Amino acid sequence: MGTGRILLVDDEPALLKMMSLYLQRRGFTVCTSETTEQAFAMMEAEPLSYTMAVLDATMAGLTMEELALKMLRANPSLRVMAASGYPVDMSRLESAAPGRVAFLHKPFTPEMLAESVRRMLASEEEKQI
């Protein structure tokens, strides 16, 4: 079972709902946003309450990189996973937050999402031991 509060950001309502329900069933607390602006406002309001953000890499508004960097500045221990059906250059994010960013290629199954989230959060727990 999972632990932690995850912010899911995607402009596809059906995908957002599926991801949210599946992660909740795995024990995670999940908040969702369909816009980058709302997502950053949520993070800014309670930055340290989130352990991870899963961001659609191709949305209107802030770019995924801009949003991720703002979120990482607001919460220096945040984990960020970008999700896209297209290749994404993650080098700038990896430089800004080594070991705390990942990429998940769409389409993915709910199981793939949950395993990727669990693996990213487990690496943080191992560091704290």
Cα 23 from chain centroid (whole Å): 12
Which CATH code is given to the segment(s) 5-128?
3.40.50.2300
Task: Determine the pLDDT at residue 4.
Answer: 82
CA distance 36 to 8: 10
Please give the average per-residue pLDDT across 21-48, as a whole number: 95
Which residues have a Cβ under 8 Å from the Cβ of 83 and sit 6 or more positions away? 10, 54, 55, 56, 57, 103, 104, 105, 106, 108
Q: What is the CA radius of gyration of the chain?
A: 13
pLDDT at residue 118 is higher than 50: yes
CB atoms within 10 A of CB 125: 10
Task: Determine the pLDDT at residue 123.
Answer: 67
- φ and ψ of 60, to 5 deg: -70, 160
What tens digit of pLDDT does each residue of 55-109 get?
999 999 999 999 999 999 999 999 999 999 999 999 999 999 999 999 999 999 9
CA triple 88-19-69, angle to 5 deg: 40
Mean pLDDT of the chain: 91
* Residue that has been written with the tokens 């997502």 in this structure: 39
What confidence category does residue 129 fall into, taking pLDDT thresholds of 50, 70 and 90? very low
* Percentage of the residues of the chain whose pLDDT score is greater than 70: 93
